[in-house]
Amino acid sequence: MLTPERSFFDYGCGRGEDIKLLVNDGIDATGWDPAFQPDESKREADIVNIGYVVNVIEDAAERKDALCAAWNLARQVLVVGARLNFDSRVTRMSPLADGCLTATQTFQKFYSQSELRSWITQTLETEPAPAAPGVFFVFRDETLRQQYLAQRYRRRRAVPRITKSERLYEEHRELFEPLVVFVTERARLPEAHELPDYGLLVERFGSIKRAFSIVRRVTGAEHWESIRQERRSELLQQFALERFGGRPRFSALPKDAQLDIREFFSSYKSACAEADALLFSVGDMTLLESAMTASPIGKRTGNGLYVHLDALHKLPQLLQIYEGCTRAYLGSFVDANVVKLHRESPRVSYLTYADFDRDPHPTLVESFLVKLGGLEVSYRSYTHYKNPFILHRKEELLDDDDPRR
């Protein structure tokens, strides 16, 4: 979302190192800080960041005022970051107000993910979207919110190779390529406003459907049917997990999302009903156990199924939603590269293995364990272990088509 077309303001920017980096990257970025940049003006911006500020404000009322002040400056989205409970385990401190006094005599308020989410919701009267543990996006622009949420469930797909030469395709390859890319991404034919060369394709081939029929003959129909099934599955997963934050009305969805729904479902209502059925089935550990046993991807052990993050999309749909429930509340675990889906109780672990791609038996660096029942998060670091855990049979965590396997 942070592009040269959008302005950025850092509320509590410290000495301004991030601002300098963003400006060097061509971003219209400014900031204010009560200690280091008090003379800078607080200005409105498309994106406003209040990162790791609310957790250092001792007075609860002042904490709310700071969040509201930052929100009032945000035209499109506010980014809120705060420290979570597991950070407190690595710092010596004593109780103070509703937080702690650290060894350096500074105040810190540590949150649980659910507590931080609830506090933001109650203070701003707006439901935030989790981006990562301790980080939330609060959208003022509903279209931008839906675009952000949709991209979390849509993965990149490779454009299919041309399996045989066809004169008509070769003659108009440059005209066909944008159409191929669009259908690869959306798994449906474009409307006129969605493709710049739509008119040229219709003029040359009579209709967009006839133009794409040439592509299907050249590349093979099976590939496109597989893409349609994947896209429908992505949409169901998105609708299922959006229930946590409240689904928007159909009319509030971006136009392209409305077209997707009309393409793959009889109605928005039926799509949501199907998604609900999938979501509720995740609560059945027997069904999850069966899905893990039948999974074509991952390493099965006595108490779970391990899979690389890059191969999550190859899991059965039920397991994708099982894992997605944690991201619906917590966002992404940025450094993790392996997920463990527990078999005996509803828990998901995010594991970071050092140098996974090159080390034959990479060592475990850190782990986050999420208990879905109460959305509890526990953290453990293994960097000081003299005999660290190592990963065996790591090739089983990858898709058969992954070149790393």
Q: Where residue 113 sits, what CATH number does that domain have?
A: 3.40.50.150
Are residues 79 and 24 part of one domain?
yes
Residues 69 and 175 in one domain: no
Q: Tell me: do 178 and 214 sit in the same domain.
A: yes
* Separation CA 316–CA 189 (nearest Å): 27
pLDDT of the residue at 161:
60
Q: Are residues 123 and 194 in the same domain?
A: no
For residues 131 and 148, is the Cβ–Cβ distance under 8 A? no
Bridging pattern class, strands 338-342 and 347-353:
antiparallel
Same-domain pairing of 24 and 131: yes
Q: Domain of 199? A: 167-219
Split the chain (405 residues) into runs of 10 and give each run's mean pLDDT: 93 93 94 91 95 91 95 96 78 75 82 90 92 92 83 70 62 88 94 93 92 87 90 91 87 91 95 93 92 94 94 92 87 89 92 94 94 84 91 93 88
Asked whether residue 114 falls in the same domain as residue 182, the answer is no
Task: Quote the pLDDT of residue 164.
Answer: 43
Does 129 lie in the same domain as 35? yes
For residues 267-302, b (16+ Cβ closer than 10 Å) or e, as one string?
ebeebbebbeebbebbeeeeebeebbeebebbbeee
Residues 130 and 195 in one domain: no
- The pLDDT, as a whole number, for residue 88 is 63
As for how many domains the chain has, the answer is: 3
In this structure, the answer to whether residues 17 and 109 fall within a common structural domain is: yes
Contact 326, 376 (CB under 8 A): no
pTM of the model: 0.70
- What is residue 66's predicted lDDT score, i.e. its pLDDT? 95
Residues 313 and 212 in one domain: no
Please give the angle made by the CA atoms of 197, 189 and 170, to the nearest 5 degrees.
55
Give CA 388 to chain center in angstroms. Answer: 30
